[in-house]
Structure 1
Amino acid sequence: MSDKSDTTFKEQQDRYRDTVFLPRTGFPMRGGLPKREPETLARWAAMDLDGKIREEGKGRPVFTLHDGPPYANGHIHIGHALNKVMKDVINRAHRMSGFEVRYQPGWDCHGLPIEWRIEEQYRKAGKDKDQVPLLQFRAECRQYAAEWVSKQAEDFKRIGVQAEWANRYVTMDYSSEAKIVGEIGKFLLNGGLYRGLRPVMWSPVEKTALAEAEIEYHDVDSTTIFVAFPIIKDPTPGDALDGVSAVIWTTTPWTIPANRALAYGPDITYVVLRADEITEASVVPQGARLLIAEDRVEAFCAETGISAHHILYTLPGSALDGAIAAHPLRGRGYEYDVPMLPGDFVTTDAGTGLVHMAPSHGQDDFIVCRQFGIEVPELVQDDGRYASWVPHLEGIHVFKAADPVCDLLTEARQAGEHDDAPATGLMARSKIRHSYPHSWRSKAPIIFRATPQWFIAMDGETKLREKALKALDPVTFVPEAARRRLTSMVEQRPDWCISRQRAWGVPIAVFVEKRSGEVLRDADVMDRIVKAFHEKGADVWYDTDPAVFLGPNRDPADYEQVFDIVDVWFESGSTHQFVLGQEGLNFPADVYLEGSDQHRGWFQSSLLESVGTRGVAPYKALVTNGFVLDEQGRKMSKSLGNVIAPADVTDSLGADILRLWVLNSDTNEDLRIGNEILKQQGELYRRLRNTLRWLLGALDGFTEEEAVPYAEMPPLEQYILHRLSELRGLISTAVETHQWVGVYPALHGFCTTDLSAFYFDIRKDAIYCDAPSDLTRRASRTVLDALHRALCTWLAPVLVFTAEEAWSARFGEESSIHLEQFFEPEAEWNNPELGANWDEIRAYRRLVTTELETARRDGVIGASLEASVTLPISQEEAASLTGIDWAELLITSHAEIELLPGETVHGGPEVERAPGHKCARCWKVLPDVGENAEHPALCRRCVSVVSA
């Protein structure tokens, strides 16, 4: 600085402060989201944003994401929030990509959980549910569901989900109930619906059949027993089974009364072993001859206390064909022959290689026994207690039956010992901890129980299984690995049990002829039923004379009216019928999106229902998200105190933080959430917000007249625009594939690494200090304009409130980012060669900035603007690293290239203090500071700006 100056540098700085073009914006640094977001929602409602979105979409190509209905029972949980945010992002992204998107939210309103809540209210009031008229009870269930539909809708709105809230669907609407019963009618008329006796998953607590999707597994301790069945018919050569007992192992002692057969593996090798010596604790009769699989001998002897044994015979499983045993409780009311039957499901992984068959309580048991004409006894009532006709066990609950059953088996063994007969009854008893199915509602264990139920056949004439698997072939799965999960479930599932024994829901509105037991398949009857449901809802089935449905040519006395309730999964699986195919809603839907548990739930029930009635899958793509766990990877539960509720997040941090967490996670896998994770998301959000804030401030006063054509821009600006085109490609791919994992982390990385730490840092000097007419400043602000438009629109599907705020801060409150399309880079911006060149430049820049930091730490310079850098560059590197203003890129006051011969650089960059004085306006250290007498504290560039 010139010695003529009598003022200090600080005073000179203050003199020129107002000449620097510092950022100016009303966009605050702090988001204040918990307060600001509700205000934004109110503004959207006032301007009828939903209506404007609907109007703007008309005439565009249609995209349809069909909403899987959540259950109307309680406030939304974090899993709901995850799922709805993912759907909202996909919908908004398609809308901003030029599609008409009509999103109809839906709710599942029938079923057991709501019944339970009403019954709970009755119990608190001292009322008996059975004394309340059925239609009154159903009305109370309807009212309860309606209240929660409204509350959940508000919960979803609060987290920024855009939908046609006034045009929602619910399964309890009269029109919905009519469609559901109409779909039942289609299966009735095409022969797919039948009533049959077979084992189903049954909840003794809830007294109803359950679907696979209503089951969860918990570890329990179960009693295990080895039981001997004396063989009374021996088909083997040489009477190898004479005096022999077949031994089984089971974890369900309570099913022994229902035993009607034993299963063996035809390809398994069996032995007859003699128990020569037993331990003191063993109850196996010494000398007993026992039939088990050869592979299980060692483990069996150890578990039953046989200390010494002898193998009498070895025989193939096929030799057991025709063998018959006696029930181990014969003589105590169980006078059954127990045939030995082949079963391809028998293994030697555990037990004895022989399987106890209770056809009332197992799927394999039922199939094999039915195949051989064996009866299926009904011994267990709907509450889990043995029926009155079960000898010695009447009224005992099956989950308390281990001791009484074992006592009976012990008596049988002891009686056999006195008679010197083949071993029978209990051979050993123990405990095992294993995974057991429970009802996810009551959390109580379930049983398999054979009861008359209504089924949809998977095979037979309709070939539903075969058609469903074929319908999945063209479906896109995201992630692709989910395909096998769904197809394997369809391949293995039994016939679909669609009946439930409850009060609240859509009845299976069919009639059964009393004389023949055949279901009435009459299209006219079904038409009358559907019409009545449409006019008055499902209650009409309970308060209307059956003659109205049957018509004048049938006598109601000849028919049984069915009052079983249809499985709620059938209801939700039918929603495609009363939602899709309307104006602006495709059938099949473009996307179904739910959690991974829905491969056995809604994805599957929708597939089977649609294929059964329409012949095609109701979706073109299935997108699956994982479950939400806490920060330690544990399932959330109130007992652990690790539940994160969406309302807690929105009240403390804001919905945009919650939404950012979703899109920054790998939603293909299970996700984790907790206070620390949300705090990290808050930091990521702050960086994105600061990027938007700096853009808005630096664009203060920008007009289209200031813009610079791409061809006239400096290379740095062209490079940043190239990066924009790359990011747009990433977003376009996500829109096309519905795979958003990694997209928003990439956008965040662009904002922090490419912009804040690179481009903004470099261009601050030009933007703050260059003249408004300067090409570099104009080009940079032209790029900032593109960046603002791009980031606002690209962030809008996720940061719905923040993007709106950043958009209206520039374009006014009457505008909305959610009426805009995605920013589209110009084709000429995509320049991979330029991008590759700048990758090299940035890599070299990182090396040099490391040297600058070393020089700063060593006291050679204070800040980078005090430095002068010499860059030794080889001939080979010259093509990509020369022609660049390295002082500008390095944010130094001076930089020059030293071109060296050869192919490699000889030594690193040289850093020294820049010659000259520090400019009071731009802070660069330059030799020309002080040249101008009027402005002795300024450099030549700054003098020209302030003098203009």
Structure 2
Amino acid sequence: MTSSSEPDKTSPADQYRDTVFLPRTSFPMRGGLPKQEPEWLKHWQETGLDARLAAQAEGRPAFTLHDGPPYANGNLHIGHALNKINKDVINRAHRMAGYGVRYVPGWDCHGLPIEWRVEEEYRKAKRDKDGVPVLEFRAECRAYAAHWLGVQMEEFKRLGVQAEWHNRYATMDFPSEAAIAEEIGRFLLNGKLYRGLRPVMWSPVEKTALAEAEIEYHDHTSTTIFVAFPVIKDPTAAHALADVSVVIWTTTPWTIPANRALAYGPDITYVVLRVDETSEGALLEPGARVLVAEALVDDFCQQAHVAAHRVLYTLPGSALKGVVCAHPLRGAGYDFDVPMLPGEFVTTEAGTGLVHQAPAHGEDDFLLCSANGIEIPEAVQADGTYAPWVPGFAGVHVFKAADVICATLVDAMERANAAGTAPAGLIARGQIVHSYPHSWRSRAPVIYRATPQWFIRMDGEDSLRENALKALENVTFVPAQARNRLTSMVRTRPDWCISRQRAWGVPIAVFVEKRTGEVLRDAAVMARIVDAFRTEGADAWYSSPPERFLGAERKAEDYDQVFDIVDVWFESGSTHSFVLGRPGLSFPADLYLEGSDQHRGWFQSSLLESVGTRGVAPFKAVVTNGFVLDEQGRKMSKSLGNVVAPQDVNDSLGADVLRLWVMNSDTNDDLRIGKEILKQQGELYRRLRNTLRWLLGGLDGFTEAETVPYAELPELERWVLHRVSELSGLMARAVETHEWVGVYPALHGFCTTDLSAFYFDIRKDVLYCDAPSSPTRRAVRTVLDILHRCLSTWLAPVLVFTAEEAWAARFGTETSVHEQAFMDMPVEWMNPELEERWASIRGVRRVITTEIEGARRNGLIGSSLQAQVELTLSQEEAALFAGVDWSELAIVSHVDVVIDPTSSSVYVQGEEGGELHGAPVVRVAEGEKCARCWKVLPETGTRADYPGLCLRCADVVEQAANTPMTEPATGEPPVGA
């Protein structure tokens, strides 16, 4: 402090500093999300927010998003975060839009992935899995799944996902297992479940059938072979095919022992060519006669080292009807006939235009041979080795069979050559790199293998295929083109193979009569099974004698008990049966939302299961999101070191930033994430947070008494409310259509462009320097109140923690922003004409501020308040912009408007960036700088009792002289600083 004898050196600016209404708020600039978010989770739990939301939902129209169950076998990855955040945003938005929302999260707990992990532990401990009692093994699988279910639940909670965690579902819960068994029983009793022999995707490593959704494709190097099958019967053209061999090409040499027929294209033209000259490496000898497609002769000759040839005959494919060949290994245990059959699938894209048929190892092969009464040999065992009864190859693994198969075929060709008979055996060998199916768990190649499996029939009476396609006609798809993908998959899929040869899962709990081979279809038996599962779980199938289920009227020794487990896709597809339909959970669900891979997985299995048992789709709408890639568009993998774990993002940036990334992305397509992208999202978050902070600071001490009716608001405030109304409509459309792409980028644009860079910038002067009783200041605070309520609730579905913090900073923690509703917009707020007028005004403002920046760079002025502007307008513009305070909008001290009657309408009609007639002229403002608002005005200092102030500020200070102000918080300097 200065002594009383010292002169007062306080400057006018210091003297009036405390009279400026600087913003005050407890809402900090930095969020500190990694530390604060867990505190909010704890607060919500302690205050019973979930229970209050449940009570709030009662009596409201229900909105049900059925959760597709993630797999309980490891920490969450970024795809999990994308999926659950997407669902959470939709649920929260529906709740705030007035719906009653019950979200029951679920987990898929059975099947090979968990079984495989438990077996890995066995292998490490050098234990034999087959020696472990099945109930003990299943208990270990259950414990493993339960552990990871708990871990994932906590990780989902940390992401801010609101759900009925205490009421979660899991496919391994006893009631769930009973319901799944009951759904199998429905297909059993309606006749669509049957056991049949047909080829399925089979993993020799995992020794089980696989679903298409469990397959991924990788490049694989395969051995290719050309093989000669000698003709032994030609009923229609003996002269043409005498001593001729039919040549096939295949990429699976291991299927040759399982060959039972050859396929030709009825519309393909074939030739019989004679080999006249060969080159080094040829196995055919000159004089050999072979049949190939005319279009592939040159390629065949090159591969077979045929240097010269002559075409003897040309014949249509239809002429091959009734032709029979011999297996190339005839005399070595393969003495059956090999008939030639017409196949519509045969093409001339590669090979010879002739396809060997191994009906146990290909879908087309199976269907063609079955239709012609040809046996389906079971040549390959579960582990991928040839069965003991396969001549010459017993015990050989199919993936190691190429060399031995080729050697055997070479020997056959050499014998035929020595005997002077038609070629029989290997003609040529090569390699090809092609996309080949692999198990996504073991990463090992798979094969087609015919085994007895349980299927759900897609066609026939009351066609499941046609019913499912019809049901899809009433389903909404987001994005719309996803409809084509799912319908095309349903239209072309074969019968649904639902059996797996494993131990951890719900068994296909049926009996087969030994005498007839028929499956037992008895509702009473099925009811006993379901009742047992409900109280004891599916383990009852393994621990109980069969008499418990068959009842006293049947003898157990007359039946085989089936121990195959059901496909996990059937399990997850049937979850609607034990989750939906409860109070507040509608059936069909309003929405299913998963990744694009679920068109062949959960979307499809849920559709088929529900249509097959209830006749309707289980969903009204299907939303699909893409996959998450790294910043370079590569798939994430530990080997590349590009994995982004949600847990790491939570700990470094906060879950709100991760949630913002989801909603700022185009989720309809594949998404990218990485350090730089997250850094950008952090910057976007900071801008949104600063918008909320500015609002809260400007609303310090606001009361309802300050509110100004809409009709009395200045035009600028009414324009802001028009924009608010537009955004409200955008939110409402997203809620109803589930199309959220672009919504939050639009909201961010509103905050940064319309508010921070325009409205807030202009209204700082009024907010900081006008008197509290000023109608304009009251109008500004009225709009800030609306903006705070709207932005807090609009951001709440995404920034769940930050929006709560912004709400609590003003209203305390007794209520939650998540209990609030989106504000209803009065009809009068929507004013398109106002939007058009202010678009023009902002265009002129951009021109003025461009000139001001130029003057700043040239050193003419420092801040914009040191400037005054001469603005030339045409008469049309002057009329259009009547009532506009250009000095306020441009944040300068004064604007002189000059009307030029000869000027064209430059600002309204001219192109932005073009030549401007009468561009704004920037000069140094005349007058003195006001110590309080910093405007430079001639009137400053004209009141002797308030030296250094403009008249406006002198009046405000005078009004406040007898009303002590509260201690202002440190905040932003006045506008123009």
Question: Which moves more between the two structures, 358-367 or 8-17?
Answer: 8-17
Q: Distance in 1 between matches of 2:764 and 2:255?
A: 80
* Equivalences for residues 79-118 of structure 1 within 5 A: 79-118=79-118
C-alpha contact (below 8 Å) 1:235/1:320 kept by paired residues: no
Query: Which residue in 2 is equivalent to 1:915?
Result: 926
| Pairing partner for 2:955 from 940, 944, 948 | 944
Q: Distance in 2 between matches of 1:497 and 1:103?
A: 31
Q: Distance in 1 between matches of 2:279 and 2:849?
A: 80
Q: Distance in 2 between matches of 1:879 and 1:354?
A: 83
C-alpha contact (below 8 Å) 1:104/1:165 kept by paired residues: yes
Query: Which residue in 2 is equivalent to 1:559?
Result: 559
C-alpha contact (below 8 Å) 1:9/1:920 kept by paired residues: no
Residues 9 and 333 from structure 1, CA distance in 2 versus in 1: closer, same or farther, beyond 3 angstroms? farther
Q: Distance in 2 between matches of 1:108 and 1:879?
A: 68
Q: Distance in 1 between matches of 2:851 and 2:427?
A: 81
Matched, 1:904 2:910: no
Q: Report the CA distance between 1:8 and its aligned residue.
A: 12
Matched, 1:27 2:27: yes
Query: Which residue in 2 is equivalent to 1:663?
Result: 663
Residues 390 and 904 from structure 1, CA distance in 2 versus in 1: closer, same or farther, beyond 3 angstroms? same
C-alpha contact (below 8 Å) 1:191/1:462 kept by paired residues: no
Letter in structure 1 aligned against 2:586: N
C-alpha contact (below 8 Å) 1:224/1:251 kept by paired residues: yes
Q: Deviations over 1:257-304 (max 9, x none)?
A: 111111111111111122222221333322222211111122222222
| Pairing partner for 1:933 from 944, 956, 971 | 944
Query: Which residue in 2 is equivalent to 1:860?
Result: 860
Q: Deviations over 1:653-678 (max 9, x none)?
A: 10001000000000000000101110
SS in 1 for 2:416: helix
Query: Which residue in 2 is equivalent to 1:708?
Result: 708
Residues 912 and 550 from structure 1, CA distance in 2 versus in 1: closer, same or farther, beyond 3 angstroms? same
Query: Which residue in 1 is equivalent to 2:333?
Result: 333
Query: Which residue in 2 is equivalent to 1:594?
Result: 594
* Equivalences for residues 724-803 of structure 1 within 5 A: 724-803=724-803
Q: Distance in 1 between matches of 2:581 and 2:248?
A: 55
C-alpha contact (below 8 Å) 1:916/1:926 kept by paired residues: yes
Q: Deviations over 1:319-355 (max 9, x none)?
A: 1111111111112211121111111111111111111
Give the count of matched residue pairs. 943
Q: Distance in 2 between matches of 1:9 and 1:287?
A: 119
Query: Which residue in 1 is equivalent to 2:456?
Result: 456
Letter in structure 2 aligned against 1:428: A
Question: Which moves more between the two structures, 109-118 or 562-571?
Answer: 109-118
SS in 2 for 1:25: coil
Query: Which residue in 1 is equivalent to 2:196?
Result: 196
Query: Which residue in 1 is equivalent to 2:322?
Result: 322
Q: Distance in 2 between matches of 1:257 and 1:850?
A: 82
* Equivalences for residues 229-308 of structure 1 within 5 A: 229-237=229-237, 239-308=239-308
Matched, 1:383 2:383: yes
SS in 1 for 2:461: helix
Query: Which residue in 2 is equivalent to 1:845?
Result: 845
Q: Distance in 2 between matches of 1:573 and 1:294?
A: 49
Letter in structure 1 aligned against 2:572: S
C-alpha contact (below 8 Å) 1:181/1:506 kept by paired residues: yes
Letter in structure 1 aligned against 2:486: L
Query: Which residue in 2 is equivalent to 1:475?
Result: 475
Q: Distance in 2 between matches of 1:8 and 1:267?
A: 109
Residues 880 and 282 from structure 1, CA distance in 2 versus in 1: closer, same or farther, beyond 3 angstroms? farther
Q: Report the CA distance between 1:417 and its aligned residue.
A: 0.6
Q: Report the CA distance between 1:7 and its aligned residue.
A: 10
Residues 10 and 846 from structure 1, CA distance in 2 versus in 1: closer, same or farther, beyond 3 angstroms? farther
Query: Which residue in 1 is equivalent to 2:689?
Result: 689
Q: Deviations over 1:539-591 (max 9, x none)?
A: 11111121121111111111111111010100000000000000000000000
SS in 2 for 1:461: coil
Query: Which residue in 2 is equivalent to 1:488?
Result: 488
Query: Which residue in 2 is equivalent to 1:153?
Result: 153
SS in 2 for 1:941: helix
C-alpha contact (below 8 Å) 1:475/1:622 kept by paired residues: yes
Letter in structure 1 aligned against 2:781: R
C-alpha contact (below 8 Å) 1:324/1:340 kept by paired residues: yes
Q: Distance in 2 between matches of 1:887 and 1:301?
A: 87
Structure 1's unaligned 5+ residue stretches are 1-5
SS in 2 for 1:275: strand
Query: Which residue in 1 is equivalent to 2:528?
Result: 528
Report the aligned-residue RMSD: 1.3
Matched, 1:511 2:511: yes
Q: Distance in 1 between matches of 2:433 and 2:264?
A: 25
Q: Deviations over 1:423-481 (max 9, x none)?
A: 12111111111111011111111100000000000001231001011010000000011
Letter in structure 2 aligned against 1:591: L
Q: Report the CA distance between 1:9 and its aligned residue.
A: 11
Q: Distance in 2 between matches of 1:746 and 1:795?
A: 12
SS in 1 for 2:271: strand
Q: Report the CA distance between 1:648 and its aligned residue.
A: 0.5
Q: Distance in 2 between matches of 1:188 and 1:71?
A: 27
Query: Which residue in 2 is equivalent to 1:3?
Result: none
C-alpha contact (below 8 Å) 1:95/1:821 kept by paired residues: yes
Structure 2's unaligned 5+ residue stretches are 1-5, 907-916, 960-977
Q: Report the CA distance between 1:838 and its aligned residue.
A: 0.6
SS in 1 for 2:428: strand
Residues 891 and 203 from structure 1, CA distance in 2 versus in 1: closer, same or farther, beyond 3 angstroms? same
Letter in structure 2 aligned against 1:332: A
Residues 359 and 879 from structure 1, CA distance in 2 versus in 1: closer, same or farther, beyond 3 angstroms? farther
C-alpha contact (below 8 Å) 1:190/1:462 kept by paired residues: no
Matched, 1:183 2:159: no
Q: Distance in 2 between matches of 1:158 and 1:124?
A: 33
Q: Report the CA distance between 1:238 and its aligned residue.
A: 5.9
Q: Report the CA distance between 1:128 and its aligned residue.
A: 2.0
Letter in structure 2 aligned against 1:255: T
Q: Report the CA distance between 1:65 and its aligned residue.
A: 0.1
C-alpha contact (below 8 Å) 1:882/1:897 kept by paired residues: no
SS in 2 for 1:30: coil
C-alpha contact (below 8 Å) 1:235/1:319 kept by paired residues: no
Letter in structure 2 aligned against 1:212: E
SS in 2 for 1:553: coil
Q: Report the CA distance between 1:745 and its aligned residue.
A: 0.4
Q: Distance in 2 between matches of 1:785 and 1:200?
A: 64
C-alpha contact (below 8 Å) 1:192/1:462 kept by paired residues: no
Residues 892 and 558 from structure 1, CA distance in 2 versus in 1: closer, same or farther, beyond 3 angstroms? same
Letter in structure 2 aligned against 1:605: S
Letter in structure 2 aligned against 1:776: T
Q: Distance in 2 between matches of 1:9 and 1:867?
A: 29
Letter in structure 2 aligned against 1:904: S
Query: Which residue in 1 is equivalent to 2:48?
Result: 48
Q: Distance in 2 between matches of 1:434 and 1:881?
A: 69
Query: Which residue in 2 is equivalent to 1:616?
Result: 616
Q: Report the CA distance between 1:250 and its aligned residue.
A: 0.8
Scaled by the length of structure 2, the TM-score of the pair is 0.95
Q: Distance in 2 between matches of 1:235 and 1:630?
A: 63
Query: Which residue in 2 is equivalent to 1:168?
Result: 168
Letter in structure 2 aligned against 1:26: S
Query: Which residue in 1 is equivalent to 2:969?
Result: none
Scaled by the length of structure 1, the TM-score of the pair is 0.98
Letter in structure 1 aligned against 2:886: W
Q: Deviations over 1:839-865 (max 9, x none)?
A: 111122112211111111122222211
